[in-house]
Chain A
Amino acid sequence: MKKILGIALGVVTSIGGFLDVGSIATSAQAGAAFGYSLLWAVLLGTICVIFLVEMSGRFSIVSGHTITAAVRKRFGFAGFILPFAAALLVNLLVLASEIGGVCVALQLLTGIGFQVWAIPVAMALWLLLWLATFDVVEDGTALLGLVTLCFVVAVFKLGAQPGELAAGLVPSLPAQERAHYLFLAVSVIGATIAPYLFLFYSSGAIEDKWDKSWITANRVIATSGMSFGALIAMAVMVVAALTLKPQGIRVEEYEQAALMLVPALGGWGFYLFIASLAIACFGAALELSLATAYAAAQAFGWNWGENLKPRAAARFSMTYTVFIALSALIVLSGLNPMKLTLFSMAITAVILPLTVMPFLVLMNDRRYMGSHVNSRFSNVVVTLIVVLSAILAIIAIPLEIIGSR
């Protein structure tokens, strides 16, 4: 019974945690510019993420290590330090984007400029991590994150045609604006396969003390949670396609996306958009801050754990404190939040190979995985993900330059 409850909670957490500023921004842009035709990017990204999340859970369950600790142990300090530094830098930018997302939501609500909100939001973020436990953070944001289901409701209300939606699930190139299309495809996939997601998941498995009896539960949570989450991301794209595209509204700023729920849900739609943006971003910001502190602590061997009071894990707590402070500074600098988001999604795609390649080695190492090593099928999938991420990494930056107009 407890296992079923655990699975349900895990699934809800994954749904609520799936959407973040990157998914919202890229899906909204994609829907507004190209209708349904980028749905396949969400699908592809989700399939990859399901495999990666399931593997990271299985890895932590069987080996008793978190991924970061295992990467250091397996590849040595010298071998892991570069991917680690790259991941830290990217995380900083993504966190700034998430905080920016919350600030923009507050700007939409109150009319007060987003920069003003940077410090209050950062303080709220920090306070929650400082005082709360892992369960409160995870479960709280998960439940609140369900507000994003309003996008799914809107899809039904707008009467989207399943046949047309299905067509979008097949990759195709448009006649015009190919660079922009490909750029958005890369960004959508980068927004979906966020490395912090599965690194956080791996740490969560250890925090929640998952043992081998959780192997099947892990598979269920990874698959259902990520699938349902993906449906919400797709819903954002569909709603944008149905409400923004016909008006010719290109989502260059969050303000342009803010009204996308109004046709389906009336006046409430505006507030639901704001709530979805704020909550999804805040939840992601919490996860990201924790994920970074986890990574540093697990890499260097410090005491770590959100369930520990700050005084019991001083370096761990100070890491997320400093990290949040730095991100807040980036938001304060006034950089356009939408541009920052798209840039950080492209950068995420660039370092993806560095984060996924160790998986291939670790998941086949019997010293860590015992009899639970990857099947040949899983290996093929991860290899394809590595190849895909390498392609994305190579084309992301040129496309960013050409295609983000």
Chain B
Amino acid sequence: MYVAGVSSTSTYAQRLVTSRLVHRFNFGPTPGQYADLLRRGVEATQSTVLEHGLTDPGLASLAALDLPDLGPIPQGGTAASTAFWNAIYAGQTDLVSWWLDRMYLSRYPLTERMTWFWHGHWATAISKVLYPLAMQKQNNTLRKFSLGSFEDMAKVMAVDGALNYWLDNEENYITSPNENLARELMELMTLGVNNYTQHDVTAAARALTGYSTNLSTGAVGFNPTQHYSMPLNILGATAKLNAESLASLLVSRAENAKFITERLWFRFVSGSTKPPATLPATFASRDISSLVSALVHSTAWSDPANSLVKSPVEWFVGACRALRVRPSKLDAGNTQWSLSQMGQVPFNPPNVGGWPYGQAWLSGAAFQYRFELAQSIVTVGDLSPLSVPKSKMVQACADWLGVAEWSTRTGSVLAAATGTPSEFALAALLSPEYMVSA
């Protein structure tokens, strides 16, 4: 069933492209935004979703999250120990709420959306790192470089405390290397598998010796006497290397442009099609904003094959933005429990490879928690966009949520749900069309 949009001139193709761009690069439309973008056209939509780098007025109401340095773990069974663990868990919860609020509040959400992508790329989990301050520091780094130079990002991340600890680099010594960080830096973060040898991994581990992390702050120190200072042969080049120069070397490889391009394509465009061969050239200077702009202006958006499942956080934040529910206004414990049951709490990816994708998010077991989240949002949400005559609610809802079109199935369910706006909104948020970016 094709439900015509606000403008008789907006075709299904335009509705699809607009829906994809605003959901995938901006966490979904705020009320009225989708209809506005349809009126303004695809080019204006492309420019709008790319806006970033400005002082974001949306974030003005967000208080700074000043996390304390909680220091070393006290001996168990003491009052200090109880206070410490209470502070750790409170800080972890506050940190997640803080980031969800940023995603919700942003007037120019591309920066948060890219930070979210890079968090999955440099996937580090608080389950091991423990200290929220170290994770916040990493998060601020990812935000700072989210649309900047990937080389700069890689150089800073190579000496990021949370990442170093997560991948055991504090246990990496000249006489007894631990290859974990070296390998994943190449395989998952810069080059992709098979673009290096075991010899390269061993040498890269040596380049990464001498660094130690103060985990409670995330600060990384360097001890030259524990650093391997002889020349290293990596990927055919021989030079003295430390973490930063190793990162630069890896990023300079042609494989890096192809790999990063593919990772963005995979997460923003499609898990089933490949990026065009010309795309890595847009990343030749390693400027992330150039690559993102090329993606936004890609012709791929009209290809029906390029559908993606929204991850639980993307779905949740999108619903919050549409219903004007600031995530921190909800019960943080309930929200984060439901997200964890769906498999995605920010700052806690399941492993160094980052988040699952696609159909992995669509189990029957996950649907019961999706329902609970939707229920909590709808209960306090602004449902005024549904204040239209019953005969127009189905169409108004598609424009409100940024859905290109409802299927016959969902159209008929929504038509039967016009009794109360909350029942109607709940059904819409739980529809296959809203779970998926078609």
Task: Indicate whether A and B interact.
Answer: no
A residues adjacent to B (C-beta < 8 A)? none
Interface of B toward A, CB cutoff 8 Å: none
